[in-house]
Amino acid sequence: MKRTIKYFLVVLSAIATAYLIAIALLLLQANFIKNDIASLFHAIESGATVASQEKLTSKIDHEISRTANVLNSPFFHPIVRHYMPAPNAEFFLMRTLIKLAPTVLGSEAPKKYLIVFQNSAEARGTGGIIGAFAEIEISRGKITILRQGSNAGLQSLNDIPITMPSEYANVYGSDPAIWQNSNMSPHFPYAAKIWSALWQKQFNEKLDGVIATDPTALSYVLRATGPITLASGEKISANNVVEKTLSTAYQRFATDNDARKEYLVEVMKTVMQQLINGGYSKLTFAREVQTPLRDRRILFALSNPRDQSSLLPTIISGNLDNKANNEFRAVIQNISGNKLDYYLRKETHIQSKACSSPLQTTISVTITNTLRNFSSLPDYVKGRLDLNQPHGINGRHGFTVMIYGPTAAEAISVIRSDAGQEGPALAQERGRPIAVFNADLAPMASETYTVTFAGGTGHIGYVKQALVIPEQISIQDGCR
């Protein structure tokens, strides 16, 4: 018995030693990567030759690839999966951004980007309506804010200023010519193209790209940079930025919506200035920003077709993939013109039903209106513009639920828990079937929407919509 215990301890010691040696080597490799990235940024800022920058990006790409291959081995799975739920996607994003860094950061010529801050209290396909915006210029890594404001300063058109696929109009109609409705599709490149075209019409400027984010993403940024202080002395921190911008601001500025929008712009401006000024740990920032990246709360599109093509397969692109996949989505669209999506909770369960060809998979989505005290909310928050009821209807919220199946699949069964409500409409976008439900939930009420799809290729995947309350997801993939 003693010999067995001794043998076990020796083996355990050997494994622990191997882990420690491997981790030490990985830390050393990470330090090399960090130093080389610092050298790349210095090369960009100093105007080094294109050849020298390409040499650095190639070296960093090789180092990241080598590190990723090591971390993808079964030996490191327990550790890696804890910190990086989707390591392949995150390593691919790192490599892509490094390759694009000299161009994106204006190494050879200044680049102009539109940053839109989405208000997820009024849901859209990519997250929420535009609440505020900023135009920035990046020249050799130096960021300058050129313009900023609320959506009140953006001019809409009667027609979309670019040609869109015919199916787009079938699903979303003509409203996307309005800035606040241009991101109804969850395919972010569509929104970026429309916004860029609207911007060029209004300001006669061609943008090099569009970045979208939201207050939840800002909360992770503030974890890295620390709190900000507004001109009034008010402190905005990682713990309160979401509530202050998406909830309490509506009560504070209940009679002055323009003042509320200016408040949001000030928060956005101050956070951006904090980022530009530096003075915080870049490693902490890189670690904190992983979560909003995974949750699609930071999205990026480039105007250059070649660069956009490189970006498209990454998690930051907001791509609604139309290649063979087994990916599902559940997207909420606000049709009430209110801000009650702040109170919506979404729980999604996906389960394999048949593993033979074609695959059969069921997705069930339960939406709950968690609102309790609706009487205290301002009309702007609880109103029902869809029903011409500016004071709302006892806290009821009207919205649309769009459930997407995999590319080339077919919806073969559709059920909603409230059988008295109308059945869904069936639509298609980018080769993906959609079951579209119109919902109207009273406070503290729930409804479940269940769709079974036939088709799909590979393991089950799911892409979150960036809402205020984090979505609960469970997947039972019996076909692995």
Amino acid at 424: P
The H or E element spanning position 221 is helix 215-225
CA separation for the pair 322, 318 (Å, rounded): 12
Q: Which two tokens stand for residue 26?
A: 């990985």
As a whole number, mean pLDDT of residues 274-282 equals 84
Domain 324-476 = CATH 1.10.287 = no
As a whole number, mean pLDDT of residues 409-426 equals 93
Are residues 315 and 91 in contact, defined by beta-carbon separation less than 8 angstroms?
A: no
Q: Which two tokens stand for residue 344?
A: 């919506």
Q: Residue 78 has what pLDDT?
A: 65
Q: Residue 94 has what pLDDT?
A: 85
CA separation for the pair 112, 291 (Å, rounded): 26
Q: What are the φ and ψ backbone dihedral angles of 98, each rounded to 5 degrees?
A: -65, -45
With vertex at residue 341, the alpha carbon angle to CA 336 and CA 345, rounded to the nearest 5 degrees, is 135
**Buried b vs exposed e over 28-44: b needs ≥16 C-beta within 10 Å?**
eeeeebeebbebbbebb
pLDDT tops 90 at residue 449: yes
Comparing 275 with 126, the larger pLDDT belongs to 126
Q: For 282-336, what is the HEC assignment?
A: HHHHHHHCHHHHHCCCCEEEECCHHHHHHHCCCCCCCCCCCCCCCEEEEEEEECC
CA torsion, ordered 261, 401, 477, 417, to nearest 10 deg: 130
Under the banding of pLDDT at 50, 70 and 90, the label for residue 18 is very low
Are residues 402 and 331 in contact, defined by beta-carbon separation less than 8 angstroms?
A: yes
Q: Residue 82 has what pLDDT?
A: 58
Are residues 188 and 317 in contact, defined by beta-carbon separation less than 8 angstroms?
A: yes
Q: What are the φ and ψ backbone dihedral angles of 177, each rounded to 5 degrees?
A: -75, -10
Nearest to 94 by CA among 339, 307, 306, 293: 293
Q: Which residues pair with 413 in a beta bridge?
A: 452
Under the banding of pLDDT at 50, 70 and 90, the label for residue 32 is low
Q: Residue 443 has what pLDDT?
A: 97
pLDDT tops 80 at residue 232: yes
Are residues 128 and 180 in contact, defined by beta-carbon separation less than 8 angstroms?
A: no
Q: What is the mean pLDDT of the chain?
A: 89
Amino acid at 438: N
Which residues, in sequence order, are CB contacts of 350 under 8 Å at separation 6+?
328, 361, 362, 363, 364, 460, 462, 473, 474, 475, 476, 477
Q: Residue 11 has what pLDDT?
A: 40
CA separation for the pair 119, 132 (Å, rounded): 8
CA torsion, ordered 41, 64, 113, 84, to nearest 10 deg: -130
Q: Residue 190 has what pLDDT?
A: 97
At the topology level, CATH places domain 111-299 in Aminopeptidase (3.40.630)
Which residues, in sequence order, are CB contacts of 427 under 8 Å at separation 6+?
167, 170, 171, 402, 433, 434, 436
Q: Which two tokens stand for residue 232?
A: 């009034």
Structure confidence by residue, pLDDT tens digits, 304-321 = 999 999 999 999 999 999
Q: Three-class SS of residue 449?
A: strand
Under the banding of pLDDT at 50, 70 and 90, the label for residue 47 is confident
Under the banding of pLDDT at 50, 70 and 90, the label for residue 50 is confident
pLDDT tops 80 at residue 22: no
Structure confidence by residue, pLDDT tens digits, 130-163 = 999 999 999 998 999 999 999 999 999 999 999 9
Q: What is the DSSP string of 388-404?
A: TBTT-STT-EEEEEEEE
Q: Which of 6-20, 69-83, 336-350 has the highest mean pLDDT?
A: 336-350
Tell me the longest C-alpha to C-alpha distance in the chain: 83
**pTM confidence score:** 0.91
